[in-house]
A and B are shown apart, each in its own frame.
Chain A
Amino acid sequence: MKKRSAGRKALYVILVVYAIITVIPFLWALSSSFKTLGEIVSGSINFIPKDFTLDNYKQIFSKEPLFGRWLFNSLFIATVGTLLNLLFNSMAGYALARLSFPGKKSIFIIILAVLMIPFQVTLIPNFLILKELGWLNSYQGMIIPGAVNATFIFMMRQFFVNFPKEVEEAAAIDGLGRFGTFFRIVLPLAKPALAAQTIFVFMAFWNDFMRPLIILSDMDMFTLPLGLNSFKGQFISYWNYIMAASMVFTLPIIVLYAFFNRYFVKGIKFTGDK
């Protein structure tokens, strides 16, 4: 019995030490974002700012006219992109799971094959196609190519395959057509799968660095990751501003996570299912 409690203590030590290792960078960034530049450059190591100040946040929002714009761009692209993904992936997944039509099997195989292609291969041709379309430096250039995701088409298909058919049949008897059934009955019942997808897709848009780097060249079209990177070049030693901007950037994702947390773990499990 005693040996067992010693083992538990050792496990607690592992967990607590690792929790500290995880949190410290965030706490350090957060504390730096409330420090004055003087305190930042003095190189003193204190987690509680001596002169607590909100100036860094005021500075990035008021004196840096583009910061608000970058925040808007990121929110707009990620929100519209996520909504389109939810709609299109579910529609495609539903058709592949429920409807019968010629060529269904080949389409499904093509979608599975698309999953295996690393995106670096399509990166350069995509740039040239967007250039031809005149979509470089535009919202649609950022949103439309990412508005569908083969992984989640596959996931939605698996979800709808296991979905009880009776519900839809009942809706059909009540006189709802295919589209009515899909939007009013099927989608609302698919909430857990949609919630998991929301987090993953939103995060992918929100955190994406490489695609915006290639597609966007005007400063006022930048998303936050690009804006932050240009901040770094511009304010090379103003780490107080950079950290404040980083914190503003991180907050929406943490809020989203807190909101969908319940579904998140389920969602990960869900992708593991057959």
Chain B
Amino acid sequence: MFTRRERKEAGQGYLFLLPALLILGVFVIAPILYAVFLSFHKVELLGGANYEFRGLDNFLKVTFDDRAIIALKNTAIYVAVVVPAQTFLALVLAASLNAGLKGQKFFRVVYFLPTLTSSAVLTLIFMWMYNQNGLINYVLKIFHLPTYNWIGDPDVALIAIMIMNIWATAPFFMVIYLAALQDIPDSHYEAAELDGAGAVQKFWHITVPNLRPVTSFVVIMGIIGTFQLFDQSYIFSGGSGGPNNSTLTVVLLIYQYAFKTLGTMGYATAIAFMLAIIILVATLVQRKFSKEESLY
């Protein structure tokens, strides 16, 4: 039996949790169940919502949908390029910043600017720099490199977004690496120095292995983030995913099916579920992979 004091404490506990549980219940947990329901139905929004049971149709439809396959391909290429690039850049920057040079604080603040700035602003700034007579082509010309129609050419539009996002995200992961670098004991480096290791050797044989758990975290966060690319391709293409579907991502496709075409809301929910499963599997594979590696 509960004493009066215990009952009072329990009441207080529920009271403290009430706002959080209410909001999570209505806007996270109920929507998850609702999403399961939606994904098996054809949904028509005519004033109210109309549901028609379709079984697994929404999930099977993806294989016949050219745009879904393009979106998946674009997203996969994007993840495969951006995650390794931003992880490597973050690591190099963190290691350079951690070398005990003067002005560290200054560099850290400067590097952090893109992380603070909204994706909408960053995308607009880059669109301004990417325009045909813009700053980036101007710099390329100075170095006698080929210039591009960055926004209009289907062959380079996705690359333009990749460059922008590697630039914008690497500093965030750099900060995570920086925190982890402080935890590597100096004695490791001192021992290596006695053995005559150079700076590059120390980096590869001490810094990199010691950071393996953090790298695993950074890669997983990177995978989750890159699979969800939306703002940049939406703003870049005015919501279309163009030119010629070259910037169409899975989340942009979900958005289009849910809110721009009629009668495909259930299908959009099914794609969202498949995306969630892809992200989950990628995360598990990466986690397993990094665990096996740490056995050596």
- Whether chains A and B associate is yes
Chain A interface residues (CB < 8 Å from chain B): 7-8, 11-12, 14-15, 18-19, 21-26, 28-29, 32, 43, 45, 84, 87-89, 91-92, 94-96, 99-102, 104, 107, 110-111, 114, 116-118, 120-129, 144-145, 147-148, 150, 153, 178, 182, 203, 206-207, 209-210, 213-214, 224-225, 228-229, 232-233, 239, 242-243, 246, 249-250, 253-254, 257, 261, 265, 268-269, 272
Chain A residue at minimal CB-CB distance from B232: A209
Q: Which 9 A-B pairs have the closest CB atoms?
A: A207-B118, A125-B31, A101-B10, A101-B13, A95-B16, A92-B20, A125-B34, A225-B120, A99-B13
Chain B residue at minimal CB-CB distance from A228: B120
A40 to chain B, nearest CB (A): 9
Select the residue from B10, B20, B128, B199 with max chain A CB neighbours within 10 A: B20
B156 to chain A, nearest CB (A): 18
CB pairs A–B below 8 angstroms (30 shown): A11-B99, A19-B107, A22-B114, A26-B117, A32-B128, A91-B16, A92-B20, A92-B21, A99-B9, A101-B11, A101-B13, A111-B20, A120-B251, A120-B254, A121-B269, A121-B272, A125-B30, A128-B38, A129-B30, A129-B31, A145-B23, A209-B120, A209-B234, A210-B230, A214-B259, A229-B120, A243-B125, A253-B118, A268-B179, A272-B176
B107 to chain A, nearest CB (A): 5
State in angstroms the CA–CA spacing of A150 and B29 once bound together: 12
B229 to chain A, nearest CB (A): 11
Q: A229, B24: Cβ atoms under 8 Å? A: no
User: Which of B65-73, B76-84, B273-281, B287-295 is the interface stretch?
Assistant: B273-281
Q: Is B129 an interface residue (CB 8 A)?
A: yes
Chain A residue at minimal CB-CB distance from B135: A28
A252 to chain B, nearest CB (A): 10
A42 to chain B, nearest CB (A): 9
Select the residue from A14, A182, A246 with max chain B CB neighbours within 10 A: A246
Q: A122, B35: Cβ atoms under 8 Å? A: yes
Instruction: Write out the residue numbers on chain A whose beta carbons fall within 8 Å of the beta carbon of B99.
Output: 8, 11
State in angstroms the CA–CA spacing of A128 and B235 once bound together: 24
Contact of B97 (CB < 8 Å), options: A15, A88, A122, A249: A15
State in angstroms the CA–CA spacing of A192 and B101 once bound together: 28
A133 to chain B, nearest CB (A): 9
A4 to chain B, nearest CB (A): 8
B266 to chain A, nearest CB (A): 9
Q: Is B121 an interface residue (CB 8 A)?
A: yes
Select the residue from B24, B93, B265 with max chain A CB neighbours within 10 A: B24
B211 to chain A, nearest CB (A): 13
Instruction: Write out the residue numbers on chain B whose beta carbons fall within 8 Å of the beta carbon of A110.
Output: 24, 29
Contact of A114 (CB < 8 Å), options: B28, B101, B118, B121: B28
Instruction: Write out the residue numbers on chain B whose beta carbons fall within 8 Å of the beta carbon of A120.
Output: 228, 251, 254, 272, 275-276
Q: B21, A107: Cβ atoms under 8 Å? A: yes
Q: A257, B228: Cβ atoms under 8 Å? A: no
Given A120-B251, A125-B31, A253-B117; A99-B175 close (CB under 8 Å): no
State in angstroms the CA–CA spacing of A87 and B125 once bound together: 36
A7 to chain B, nearest CB (A): 5
Main secondary structure of the interface of A (DSSP, over half): helix
Q: B38, A15: Cβ atoms under 8 Å? A: no
Contact of B13 (CB < 8 Å), options: A7, A104, A122: A104
Q: A121, B179: Cβ atoms under 8 Å? A: no
State in angstroms the CA–CA spacing of A214 and B234 once bound together: 13
Q: A22, B110: Cβ atoms under 8 Å? A: yes
Name B1-33 residues within 8 Å CB distance of A: 6, 9-14, 16-17, 19-21, 23-24, 26-32
Q: A45, B268: Cβ atoms under 8 Å? A: no
State in angstroms the CA–CA spacing of A210 and B120 once bound together: 10
Instruction: Write out the residue numbers on chain A whose beta carbons fall within 8 Å of the beta carbon of B29.
Output: 110, 114
Contact of B113 (CB < 8 Å), options: A23, A122, A150: A23
State in angstroms the CA–CA spacing of A32 and B27 once bound together: 42
State in angstroms the CA–CA spacing of A232 and B251 once bound together: 22
Instruction: Write out the residue numbers on chain B whose beta carbons fall within 8 Å of the beta carbon of A225.
Output: 118-121, 231
Instruction: Write out the residue numbers on chain B whose beta carbons fall within 8 Å of the beta carbon of A45.
Output: 135, 138
Q: Is B133 an interface residue (CB 8 A)?
A: yes
Chain A residue at minimal CB-CB distance from B118: A207
Select the residue from A101, A265, A272 with max chain B CB neighbours within 10 A: A101
Q: A148, B14: Cβ atoms under 8 Å? A: no
State in angstroms the CA–CA spacing of A144 and B27 once bound together: 9
State in angstroms the CA–CA spacing of A242 and B259 once bound together: 27
Q: Is B189 an interface residue (CB 8 A)?
A: no
Q: A26, B125: Cβ atoms under 8 Å? A: yes
State in angstroms the CA–CA spacing of A114 and B25 once bound together: 10
The 8 A CB mask of B195-236 against A (1 = contact, 0 = none) is: 000010000000000000000000000001000101100110
Instruction: Write out the residue numbers on chain B whose beta carbons fall within 8 Å of the beta carbon of A147.
Output: 19, 23
Contact of A261 (CB < 8 Å), options: B93, B101, B109, B131: B109
B274 to chain A, nearest CB (A): 10
State in angstroms the CA–CA spacing of A253 and B19 once bound together: 28
Q: Is B126 an interface residue (CB 8 A)?
A: yes
Select the residue from A104, A128, A254 with max chain B CB neighbours within 10 A: A128
Q: Is B59 an interface residue (CB 8 A)?
A: no
